[in-house]
Amino acid sequence: MKLRNCAFIMATVLFGIGLVAAAPYAPIPQVPDPTPPDNTVKLIFIHHSTGRNWLADEYGGLGKTLAQNNYFVSDANYGWGPDAIGDRTDIPDWPEWFASNNSPIYMDALFNESNQHVPYSRTLADPGGENEIIMFKSCFPNSALEGSPNDPPGTYEELSVSGAKYVYNTILQFFATRPDKLFIVITAPPLSDDTNAENARAFNNWLVNDWLDENNYTLNNIAVFDFYNILTDPNAHHRFHNGQVEHIAASSNTLYYPSGDDHPSEEGSRKATEEFVPLLNIYYHHWKENAPAGPIQPIQPDSAPLSPTLSLIAGFESGEPPWEAFHDETTSSTMVCQFEADTGRNGNSLLLNFNLTPNSWGTCARFFETSQNWSAAEGISFYASAGAAGSTFDIDLYAGPNENRETYLATLTASSEWTRFDLRWDDFQRASWEENAGTPFAKQGEVAGIAFGFGAPADTLNAGTLRVDDLSLLSTEPELPPEPVSEDPEPAAKNPFFCFGVLILPLAAVLPSLKKIKRPT
């Protein structure tokens, strides 16, 4: 990958599934400021029924109290937004909002929404511009997390402790690209059922205390309010009290404030408002001290020439979905694919180790739970190095539904040194064993999976290794002009982290498919 400036160097270092940065998450100042903002601030809240009750004047009173603190409030509820994305607010849904191919569409709508979709008082005039604060919350069914309290982050999104940690680690990568926005995570409220209550407590404690630290997150644009905790006991709090921020748990892990079902009661909702709004003011002032004017991205001159740029699909770092090996099971062929530590260009690589008997095949594939729309890209880019120069391999694209899956491939020759391959969509041809063989790939909006494959001729054994790194989508954008040469001969010696702060957005969070495709003989 050609790196054009220091910011892009930091970007490639910073992102696997987690973030590696120069310093820990910046803590709340020793003297927090709980006073309202001086100017009207636009805020949007993504919620469902519990959030509706919390906002309502005669229930939780949050909407009215936020207005009294100089926040112009809008909200997103059921049916809101492109593709009715507002219907989907469970924990496993957040990657669709913040880390999918459609995220730019959803975020544009979210940042520019100025309407309310449930009743609450709005006493302030719209100050114009985009929403600066993004609040989002899942509802109480999301406290029924499977697994065990100490489970580590998993490799895909689901309603479990590990799956929920995976989700928040994934969307963290988008938040890092938007330091101009303040993201407020509202933990899901508790259930009355205690079956998985310990898991819910452990996960929410992780969000409050460990999430950002574990990822070495350095920006000030994320805060967590433990809505769950304060609803478990009258003595449980997350608040500003006696000049400091308190997060105090009590003995219960279940809902103390029921309303006849698991929606928090009016009393519990008002307690949440009382404790949350001063904290929001503190979070806002803390963020605003260093908030940039816009997202982290290069500014492109209108007249600049176009050059290839990359959007990461897979860096093969720990925490990413695994790739799976397939081979001709009618033979004694073997095929292994696995992440290999510290053998890539930056971190891990994907190691493919194959030993194929004559007239057989092997692939290493990643299938997506839902089809990916790659139509905005020009093609695929990746780096590869082979155990022996001259090794031939295929890169395969799978398109269409499982029952009518299509295979397109390009055949390449690898060097023993890291080599970058840039392939446009027309370089991929329909597989010879399928109908319409040889037709170019034209289903960029229906990508079901991607694979690296090998074959063995009828009379020859094919064995060896291939390593792959930095698998990306290839697009074009204006190239930045050369940076001016600094008159300071040793700028890095004065500050070794002078270029920290620019991060890169990965393509999406995706899942391995339960339905696999084997390469025909």
Q: Do 197 and 344 sit in the same domain of this protein?
A: no
Residue 30 to residues 33, 183, 189, 283, 509, Cα–Cα distance (Å): 10, 21, 29, 13, 37
CA torsion, ordered 272, 276, 277, 281, to nearest 10 deg? 180
The confidence band for 23, taking pLDDT boundaries of 50, 70 and 90, is very low
13 confidence band (pLDDT: 50, 70, 90): very low
Q: Please say if the pLDDT value at position 376 is more than 70.
A: yes
236, 197: one domain: yes
Percent of the chain residues past pLDDT 70, beyond the cut: 83
Give the residue-averaged pLDDT of 147-159. 93
Co-location of 250 and 314 in the same domain: no
Q: Are residues 422 and 478 in the same domain?
A: yes
pLDDT computed for residue 497 by the predictor: 28
pLDDT at 284: 97
pLDDT over 80 (residue 412): yes
Q: Tell me the pTM.
A: 0.57
pLDDT given at position 12: 32
| Domain end residue (candidates: 253, 288, 323) | 288
Structure token digits, residue 72: 């112009």
Reported as a pLDDT band with limits 50, 70 and 90, residue 431 is very high
> Which pLDDT value is given to residue 125?
96
Structure token pair of residue 186: 């509202």
Distance CA 8, CA 502 (A): 7
Q: Indicate if 165 and 258 belong to the same structural domain.
A: yes
Mean pLDDT along residues 335-356: 90
First to last CA, the chain: 34
Residue 27 pLDDT: 56
Residue 469 lies in a domain: yes
pLDDT classification of 514: cutoffs 50, 70, 90: very low
Domain-embedded: residue 97 = yes
Question: Domain tally for the chain?
Answer: 2
Round to whole Å and give the CA distance between 46 and 188.
12
Sequence-ordered list of residues with C-beta below 8 angstroms from that of 484, at least 6 positions apart, any chain: none
Q: Which pLDDT score is estimated for 30?
A: 61
206 domain-assigned:
yes
Residue 516 within any structural domain of the chain: no
Which of 159-163, 321-325, 385-389 has the highest mean predicted lDDT (pLDDT)?
Answer: 159-163
What's the length of the chain? 521
40: domain CATH number is: 3.40.50
Task: Find the range with the poorest average confidence among 29-38, 121-130, 143-152.
Answer: 29-38
* Half-sphere exposure in the Cβ direction for 84 (13 Å, CA): 3
User: Does the pLDDT value for residue 228 go beyond 90?
Assistant: yes
Mean pLDDT of 343-358: 90
CA gap 384, 470 in Å, rounded = 9
Tell me if 315 is assigned to some domain.
Answer: yes
Span 3-16, mean pLDDT? 32
CATH number assigned to the domain comprising residue 463? 2.60.120.430
Q: Are residues 247 and 313 in the same domain?
A: no
Q: Is the pLDDT of residue 1 over 80?
A: no
Residue 310 banded pLDDT, cuts 50, 70, 90: low
Taking each helix axis as running N to C, give the angle between helix 161-175 and helix 197-209, from 0 to 180 degrees, rounded to the nearest 10. 20
Q: How confident is the model at residue 79 (pLDDT cuts 50, 70, 90)?
A: very high
- Round the average pLDDT of the chain to a whole number and report it: 84
Strand 71-76 with 306-314, pairing: unpaired
Instruction: Examine the pLDDT at 5 and tell me if it is beyond 70.
Output: no
Among residues 288, 321, 344, which one ends one of the domains?
Answer: 288
Residues 230 and 315 both lie in one domain: no
Range of the domain at 314: 307-494
Residue 215 is assigned to a structural domain of this protein: yes
In the predicted structure, residue 319 carries a pLDDT above the cut 90? no
393 shares its domain with 282: no
Mind listing the pLDDT tens digit for each residue in 386-411? 988 888 999 999 998 888 899 999 99
Give residue-wise pLDDT tens across range 193-224. Answer: 999 999 999 999 999 999 999 999 989 999 99
Same domain, 329 and 431: yes
Q: What local confidence, expressed as pLDDT, does residue 488 receive? A: 41
* Domain membership flag for residue 505: no
Is residue 323 in a domain?
Answer: yes
Per residue in 161-187, pLDDT tens? Answer: 999 999 999 999 999 999 999 999 999
Judged by average pLDDT, the poorest of 206-220, 370-384, 496-510 is 496-510
Do residue 264 and residue 339 come from a single domain? Answer: no
Query: Structure tokens of 60?
Result: 């939780």
**Given this model, what pLDDT does residue 257 score?**
96
Can you tell me the mean pLDDT for 464-470? Answer: 93
**What percentage of the chain exceeds 90 in pLDDT?**
67
Instruction: Report pLDDT for 308.
Output: 55
What pLDDT shows up at residue 218? Answer: 87
Q: Which residues does 287 contact at the CB level (< 8 Å), separation at least 6?
A: 182, 220, 221, 223
Q: Specify whether 321 is located in the same domain as 283.
A: no
Q: In sequence order, what E strands does 341-458 have? A: 349-356, 361-372, 379-386, 391-399, 406-414, 419-424, 429-430, 447-455
- Examine the fold and report which residue of 226, 253, 288 is the final residue of a domain before the chain moves on: 288
pLDDT, residue 401, reads 86
Please tell me the predicted confidence (pLDDT) of residue 489. Answer: 38
122 shares its domain with 195: yes
Mean pLDDT value of segment 74-88: 95
